[in-house]
């Protein structure tokens, strides 16, 4: 899934390195596969074109926010403002795209807002040395407030053709996800991108080796912001309108997906393919529970239990000799 080649850097070293990164997540891949099979049995429609489209569409925003959270956690940071940023992306899309700016202008503003918010957050956390968890907590108020200013109550509109393209009977979400994963691989093949790991795991050593630690971390926040507003744009397209609080649940889910995917809190631990698999697993669990007729409420309960279980069981095994 995330093993897609990046055209420029193929070589005798690149591929073995990529293959080695699978080692930690193999069992996770198996679990995801098992869930996919179970889901396919319960819901054979998955293998039709429209079923596949619907499924990837429900997964897509979660995949994006999982990536947004994972990239921060890899650098040793975290964001509690992901949900608010998703909401902001959604309301910007819903208020600009149907207007004179058009879709292109709307996309541009969504992108700029994401990059700008992320970079500003990163600057405050990295350069002013404030704890990420508190900064993003305060940031979630500011960003959420901005979303409320732009669109005080659900409304706005997304051009119907765009909604149809992204959230209709098309594999557009899947294609987009593949493109995003390819871009991520490309970023990770740049010196700045690969510095993420060193900056998160051994910042002192990385600094001594000449890695631009601060730049790598600020860039991570910017990319995280971009992925979050992008997820918001997609959610707006799915619903056809904007909602200033639609993203709220994504904060928890992004952390849950990243942790399910094996990303550690201490920085430098885990892989993006793991985070994507974690988001897929979470998305599958939600879908399976829905299909089994769980009420949304029971889903909450089960989700809480599953997350604790998934995180605790491997730990518990480690403790037992």
Partner 1 sequence: MTTVAPLLAARGASKAFFGNPVLRGVSIALQPGRVHALLGENGAGKSTLINLLSGALRPDGGEIEVDGRAVPRMTPALARQAGIAVVQQELSLTASLSIAENIGLGAYPKRFGLIDYNELAARAKAACALVGLNEPLSTPVGQLALGRRQMVEIAKALYRMPRVLILDEPTSSLSATETKILTDLLERLRGEGIAILYISHRLNEVMALCQHVTVLKDGTCTADRSLQGTDAAGLVRLMVGRDPGDLFPQWQPSASPASAISVRGFSAGLMRDVDLDIRAGEVLGVGGLVGQGQEDLLLGLYGAIPAKAASAVVNGASGLPGGVPKANALGLAYVPADRKREGLHLIHPILTNMMLPAFARLPALKLRSRKTERETGKSLAAQLAIKGDLQRPAQALSGGNQQKVALAKWMPHDPLVLLLNDPTRGVDVETKREIYLMLRGFAAAGKAVVLLSSDTPELVHLCDRVAVVREGRITATLERAALSEEAIVSAAMGAEKQKVAA
Partner 2 sequence: MTAWNDSTGGIRASAILKSRPFLTLAIVAAVWIAASFVSRGFGAYGHLRYLVELGAVIGLVAAGQTFVVIAGGIDLSVAAIVTVSAISLPLLSWQADPTGLVSILAVLALTTIIGVVNGLGVALLRVHPMIMTLAMATFLQGLLIIIAGGSAVTAENPLVHWLGNARPAGVPAGIILWVAVSAIVLTVMHATPFGARIFAMGANPLAASLSGVPVTSTTLAVYGISGFTAGLAGVLVLGMNGQGYVGIGDPYLLASIAAVVLGGTSILGGLGTYAGTIPGAVLLVTITALITVVNASPGWRSILFGSLILGLLLLSGREQARR
> Where does this chain bind partner 2 (CB under 8 A)?
78, 124, 128-131, 133-135, 137-150, 152, 204, 244, 252, 255-256, 259, 265, 297-305, 307-308, 311-312, 315-316, 319
Given partner 1, partner 2, none, residue 197, with its beta carbon under 5 to 8 Å by kind, binds: partner 1
Compute the half-sphere exposure of residue 90: CA atoms within 13 Å on the CB side of its CA: 33
Residue 251 in 3-state DSSP?
helix
Q: CB-wise, 230 or 262, nearer to partner 1?
A: 262
Which lies closer to partner 1 via its Cβ, residue 127 or residue 153? 127
**Among positions 100, 293, 296, 321, the unique one binding partner 1 when judged by CB under 8 A:** 321
Query: Dihedral of the CA atoms 184, 186, 191, 192 (nearest 10)?
Result: -30
Per partner kind, with CB cut-offs from 5 to 8 A, the member of partner 2, partner 1, none near residue 178 is none
Number of residues that bind partner 1 (CB under 8 A): 33
Which two structure tokens, joined as six digits, stand for 139? 């940031």
103: partner contacted, choices partner 2, partner 1, none (Cβ within 5-8 A by kind): none
* Least Cβ distance, residue 230 to partner 2 (angstroms): 22
Q: What is the Cβ-side half-sphere exposure of residue 206, based on CA atoms within 13 angstroms?
A: 22
Query: Residue 154 burial (CB < 10 Å; 0-12/13-18/19+)?
Result: middle
CB of 17 to partner 1, least distance (A): 4
Residue 311 binding result from partner 2, partner 1, none, given CB thresholds of 5 to 8 Å by partner type: partner 2
Cα–Cα dist 187/6, whole Å: 10
Q: Is 136 exposed, middle or buried, given 0-12, 13-18 or 19+ CB atoms closer than 10 A?
A: buried
Span 182-211, contacts to partner 1 by CB under 8 A? 186, 189-191, 194-195, 197-198, 201-202, 204-211
Contacts (Cβ under 8 Å, ≥6 apart) of 64: 180, 227, 228, 230, 231, 234
Q: Is 194 exposed, middle or buried (0-12, 13-18, 19+ CB in 10 A)?
A: middle
Contacts (CB under 8 A) with partner 1, residues 245-284: 268-269
Return the bridge partners of 242, or none.
155
Which residue's CB is nearer to partner 1, number 25 or number 286?
A: 25
Binding site for partner 1 (CB under 8 A): 6, 8-9, 11-14, 16-17, 19-21, 186, 189-191, 194-195, 197-198, 201-202, 204-211, 268-269, 321
């Amino acid at each position: 899934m995330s093993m897609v080649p990046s055209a420029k850097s193929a070589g005798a070293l690149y591929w073995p390195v990529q293959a080695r990164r699978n080692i930690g997540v193999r069992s996770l891949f198996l679990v995801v596969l098992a869930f996919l099979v179970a889901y396919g049995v319960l819901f054979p429609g998955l293998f039709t074109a429209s079923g596949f489209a619907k499924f990837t569409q429900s997964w897509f925003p979660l995949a994006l926010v999982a990536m947004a959270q994972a990239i921060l956690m890899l650098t040793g940071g975290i964001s509690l403002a992901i949900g608010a940023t998703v909401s902001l992306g959604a309301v910007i899309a819903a208020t600009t795209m149907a207007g004179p700016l058009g879709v292109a202008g709307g996309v541009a503003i969504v992108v700029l807002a994401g990059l700008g918010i992320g970079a500003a957050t990163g600057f405050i956390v990295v350069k002013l040395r404030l704890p990420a968890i508190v900064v993003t907590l305060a940031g979630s108020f500011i960003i959420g407030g901005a979303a409320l200013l732009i669109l005080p109550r659900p409304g706005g509109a997304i051009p119907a053709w765009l909604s149809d393209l992204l959230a209709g009977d098309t594999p557009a979400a899947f294609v987009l996800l593949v493109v995003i994963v390819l871009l991520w691989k490309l970023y990770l093949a740049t010196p700045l991108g690969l510095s993420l790991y060193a900056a998160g795991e051994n910042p002192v050593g990385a600094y001594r080796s000449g890695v631009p630690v601060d730049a790598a971390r600020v860039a991570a926040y910017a990319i995280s912001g971009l992925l979050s507003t992008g997820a918001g744009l997609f959610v707006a397209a799915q619903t056809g309108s904007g909602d200033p609080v639609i993203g709220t649940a994504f904060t928890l889910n992004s952390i849950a997906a990243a942790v399910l995917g094996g990303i550690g809190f201490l920085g430098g631990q885990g892989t993006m393919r793991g985070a994507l698999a974690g988001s897929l697993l979470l998305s599958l669990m939600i879908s399976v529970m829905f299909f089994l007729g769980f009420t949304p409420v029971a889903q909450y309960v089960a989700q809480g239990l599953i997350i604790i279980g998934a995180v605790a069981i491997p730990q518990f095994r480690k403790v037992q000799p």
